[in-house]
Chains A and B, each alone.
Chain A
């Protein structure tokens, strides 16, 4: 077999030598590319001012790409100054104001709790339950919530750990923690992205704007006045968490995270610096917003956590207190999500057919 191939190869080589296919190419005269404007300017400057190299060095300072034998991304760039901007922003305003925000939000929430206390149901609980969240609703919520928490904590370690944990743990232990945090962050990130997309479509129909959202927002849900404000399945505050948090912040952190997480696509430093700025700023804002969400989902509104955590059931009185329009729809059998539940078994038993 190999002998045949060698014979064939030899015959082809002989043919190529006798009838050079590209012979025409050798006869064509060499025509250099016409000089570009920059090149012409350079040639002219060298004739008129042979000692003036200032324009060359200006070009270097501006991060132009030049010729080099070193393979890799951006190796032809001599000075890339974007990194200094990135450093100044990260070690400056992002750390400072981000840190202040992340300390201030829990303090404000604590003060609010001390002042107003939890938002309890007015009157007695009925003991009759409504299925508010299906198992899928809850699974997808906790997929997002758990991956988000891992990302938030490991992200904070990378941004603030040096200032907060390193002095306590020492270099070696903190380095182990940071390695674990970095890898956890990088592998959890794509899981968050997938969960986030699934959650978006699962919860989308319940987060469309409705009549009454404006009124709810104007009164901030009666959080300060203690007034009763009716709301649908989700109130306007929850819709803000959905659209601003999950959707906008989620998309920005995910896309910028992908740019940072996969350097194997040979993206340059400049893109990664910009992605990192978007990633850290959005991440911090996301954390601030979610602190409010976690507060209202746990100690701020008794009953809310149980619905998401245990069986998805809420008391009728709770539903009427916090989501009156939805409660009325469920009662009337018009609700697209949620149904009357059999309290004993905790299973949904629709009283009427669903819309």
Chain B
């Protein structure tokens, strides 16, 4: 079975926000919810880097560990998904997540946040694959259609890779060898554990 991961190549990301737009368009996410965002480090300086970040579908996912109603589950592809029917909107996943992935449609007083929403790796939710109910709550289930997440598919510079962790790590390794720089795989240490355990192509960050 594949183990789905995201990898953002900071040497290639041009901060076009195409992935953000693709995500919003594909999944018709509610207003105010950003499942994916692009963050630019040292904006306007030499060595500026941009990173596209969303839920990384962590190996030992903090959101899963802290959820008081245990509404998270992991698909056979290693994608971290959640059941909005069980979610109580407490915000604990949002406290725990290092990447700021969990989003809430509201931030009302008395903790009225609504149901949590986050990147599903375009893999929908617990409803039947491709059903109307699944689309309404979670967006499109592209994995069930044999496609990869639309953010990565849409990326104009192929900076954002989404797919089987081994395959995208190989692609990245080849890139690093060819260009001779930029071996840092952003976020993998945090999301998937120590580099020596998961055979990442470069250092951790």
Q: Does residue A238 face the partner (Cβ distance < 8 Å to B)?
A: no
A72 to B107 CA separation, bound complex (whole angstroms): 11
Q: Does residue A46 face the partner (Cβ distance < 8 Å to B)?
A: yes
Of all chain A residues, the one with the shortest Cβ separation from B182 is: A53
Q: Is the CB of A186 within 8 A of B40?
A: no
A67 to B49 CA separation, bound complex (whole angstroms): 10
Residues on the A chain within 8 Å of B95, using CB: 83, 86, 269, 272-273, 276
Query: Which A134-179 residues sit within 8 Å CB-CB of chain B?
Result: 157-159, 161-162, 166, 171-172, 174-175, 178-179
Q: Is the CB of B37 within 8 A of A68?
A: yes
The interface size of chain B toward A, counting residues with CB under 8 Å, comes to: 58
A47 to B52 CA separation, bound complex (whole angstroms): 26
Residues on the B chain within 8 Å of A157, using CB: 68
Q: Does residue B186 face the partner (Cβ distance < 8 Å to A)?
A: yes
Q: Does residue A210 face the partner (Cβ distance < 8 Å to B)?
A: no
Shortest distance from the beta carbon of A180 to any chain B beta carbon, whole Å: 9
Residues on the B chain within 8 Å of A79, using CB: 98-99, 187, 190, 205
Query: Which A298-336 residues sit within 8 Å CB-CB of chain B?
Result: none
Shortest distance from the beta carbon of B175 to any chain A beta carbon, whole Å: 14
Q: Is the CB of B62 within 8 A of A87?
A: yes
Q: Is the CB of A162 within 8 A of B69?
A: yes
Of all chain A residues, the one with the shortest Cβ separation from B108 is: A264
Of all chain B residues, the one with the shortest Cβ separation from A68 is: B39
A266 to B34 CA separation, bound complex (whole angstroms): 16
Q: Is the CB of B41 within 8 A of A60?
A: yes
Q: Is the CB of A263 within 8 A of B85?
A: no
Q: Which of B38, B42, B91 has the most CB of A within 10 A?
A: B42
Q: Is the CB of A57 within 8 A of B184?
A: yes
Q: Is the CB of B109 within 8 A of A83?
A: no
Return the contact of B86 from the options A70, A78, A171, A273 (Cβ within 8 A). A171
Shortest distance from the beta carbon of B88 to any chain A beta carbon, whole Å: 5
Of all chain A residues, the one with the shortest Cβ separation from B98 is: A79
A183 to B112 CA separation, bound complex (whole angstroms): 8
Q: Is the CB of B89 within 8 A of A182?
A: yes
Residues on the B chain within 8 Å of A83, using CB: 62, 95-98
- Given A53-B182, A79-B98, A87-B66, does the pair A68, B41 have CB atoms closer than 8 Å? no
Query: Which A53-87 residues sit within 8 Å CB-CB of chain B?
Result: 53-54, 56-57, 59-61, 64, 66-72, 74-81, 83-84, 86-87
Q: Does residue A19 face the partner (Cβ distance < 8 Å to B)?
A: no
Shortest distance from the beta carbon of B56 to any chain A beta carbon, whole Å: 10
Q: Is the CB of A182 within 8 A of B97?
A: no
Top 5 closest pairs, chain A to chain B, by CB: A70-B37, A57-B205, A46-B46, A67-B43, A175-B86
Q: Which residues of A contact B (CB under 8 A)?
A: 39, 42-43, 45-47, 50-51, 53-54, 56-57, 59-61, 64, 66-72, 74-81, 83-84, 86-87, 90-91, 157-159, 161-162, 166, 171-172, 174-175, 178-179, 182-183, 186-187, 260-264, 266, 269, 272-273, 276
A and B contact pairs by CB, cutoff 8 A, 7 listed? A56-B41, A66-B39, A70-B37, A81-B98, A87-B96, A90-B66, A186-B110
Since A59-B41, A80-B98, A166-B70 are in contact, a sample of 19 more A-B pairs with Cβ atoms closer than 8 Å, ordered by chain A residue number, is A50-B181, A53-B49, A53-B184, A56-B42, A56-B49, A57-B186, A60-B51, A68-B38, A69-B38, A71-B34, A72-B34, A80-B100, A83-B62, A83-B96, A182-B88, A182-B89, A260-B111, A262-B110, A263-B104
